[in-house]
Amino acid sequence: MNKKLYQTVIDYINNKITSGELSIGDVIPSESQLSKRLNVSIGTVRKAIDKLENSNILFRHHGKGTYVNLNLKTMKTDYKKERSDLAAAFRWAARLNMHEAVANHFSLAVSDDGSQFLLNPIGMNFSQICASDLILLDSNDPTTMSQPNAPDPSAWAIHGAMHRNNPQARCILHVHPKYATILASLEDKTMKPIDQNTMRFYEKVSIDHDYSGMGLGKEAERLSTILGDNSVLLMGNHGVLTAAKTVAKAFDDLYYFERSCENLIGAYQTGKNLHLVSHEIATKTAQQWQDYDASDLHFDALKRILDKEEPDYKI
Ligand SMILES: [Zn+2]
């Protein structure tokens, strides 16, 4: 199957929806019409429609045509940009295989004091989370866990405590990606300055050495006091958490931290001695990373891909 041709069909249908030419409930042109119009095979058209149907953008009503189906989810109008950004972070973390089953959680504060925040609902795989799926919680509301849309208990405990105790950390991403979790499992959990990526985090990671069980109750409260001014918390014997003012920055930190851990673990695996740069060079490079902040460019580029390939994340 020619990927380019099938993407042409997806783009064609998406453009019709985005421009308003096709609205919710409209029947799209038939497979043979699309095949002739775009000069592609019926098989290519079917593949494209399969993909759009999987994303809930289209719905095949057998014998009656294929409908635009964006109304399966009601577009939430509150915190639209925040919801859309956080949904994009879930989708891309899934593509990078950073998520684990239906555990792990991302949140984004929407009130000034950080007490109100968006969080993923319980039981959803990151790859299917849409903007309207995110639940709005208040960390001061004691009834949260008895409500029908109650979140995962450890998500509630960790993110509630983190937002309460770190109001500067608007976006908090917590996962157990492979290489960060390996580093968290070593006795020496420090990020050694062995390449440009690892130097980004030189002396800039808060490390927890006192794991005492799942992130609930007192453990969550304890974790929330360790971050300090850093944007990365390496949770010993557990995973990693990044915290920043925007989703783009927290995601950029998470991406580069996992890459850095991969480089470091890979270097350890060779069994050869590490070639560490000096304290001065590592410090200078870490500062250069701070001055060169391409997190918005990075995240915007990812969102452009999602806009084309899985636009339902914004719904
Ligand atoms: Zn965890």
pLDDT tens for residues 251-300? 999 999 999 999 999 999 999 999 999 999 999 999 999 999 999 999 99
Q: What is the mean pLDDT of residues 100-124?
A: 93
Q: Could you tell me the pLDDT band of residue 179, with boundaries at 50, 70 and 90?
A: very high
| Ligand 1 center from residue 181 Cα (angstroms) | 10
Q: Residue 25: its pLDDT value, please?
A: 73
Q: Could you tell me the pLDDT band of residue 313, with boundaries at 50, 70 and 90?
A: very high
Q: Could you tell me the pLDDT band of residue 73, with boundaries at 50, 70 and 90?
A: low
Yes or no: say if 188 and 266 are a contact pair by the CB < 8 Å rule. no
Tokens of 93: 């973390």
Yes or no: say if 206 and 233 are a contact pair by the CB < 8 Å rule. yes
| Ligand 1 center from residue 18 Cα (angstroms) | 38
Q: Identify the three-state secondary structure at position 61.
A: strand
| Ligand 1 center from residue 72 Cα (angstroms) | 31
Q: Residue 38: its pLDDT value, please?
A: 93
- Weakest-pLDDT range from 57-61, 214-218, 272-276: 214-218
Q: What domains lie within the chain, and their CATH numbers?
A: 3-72 (1.10.10.10), 80-308 (3.40.225.10)
State how far the Cα of 202 lies from the Cα of 197, in Å rounded to an integer: 9
Q: What is the mean pLDDT of residues 36-51?
A: 92
State how far the Cα of 65 lies from the Cα of 63, in Å rounded to an integer: 6
For residue 192, is pLDDT > 60?
yes
State how far the Cα of 128 lies from the Cα of 99, in Å rounded to an integer: 12
| Ligand 1 center from residue 251 Cα (angstroms) | 17
Q: Could you tell me the pLDDT band of residue 78, with boundaries at 50, 70 and 90?
A: confident
State how far the Cα of 45 lies from the Cα of 41, in Å rounded to an integer: 7
Token pair 């969550």 is found at 220
* Radius of gyration, CA atoms only, the chain: 22
For residue 72, is pLDDT > 60?
no
Q: Identify the three-state secondary structure at position 95.
A: helix
Q: Residue 74: its pLDDT value, please?
A: 57
Tokens of 43: 């098989």
| Ligand 1 center from residue 215 Cα (angstroms) | 7
Q: Identify the three-state secondary structure at position 40.
A: coil
Over the chain, what is the mean pLDDT? 91
Q: Residue 27: its pLDDT value, please?
A: 87
| Ligand 1 center from residue 131 Cα (angstroms) | 22
For residue 113, is pLDDT > 70?
yes
Strand pairing report for 239-244 and 171-175 = antiparallel
Mark the residues whose beta carbon lies below 5 A from ion ligand 1: 239
pTM: 0.78
Burial class of residue 21 (count of CB atoms within 10 Å of its CB; 0-12, 13-18, 19+): exposed
Q: Residue 233: its pLDDT value, please?
A: 97
| Ligand 1 center from residue 88 Cα (angstroms) | 20
Q: Residue 274: its pLDDT value, please?
A: 97
| Ligand 1 center from residue 79 Cα (angstroms) | 26
State how far the Cα of 58 lies from the Cα of 72, in Å rounded to an integer: 10
| Ligand 1 center from residue 214 Cα (angstroms) | 7
Q: What is the mean pLDDT of residues 139-147?
A: 85
CA distances (Å), origin 232, targets 24, 127, 154, 198, 309: 42, 24, 19, 13, 30
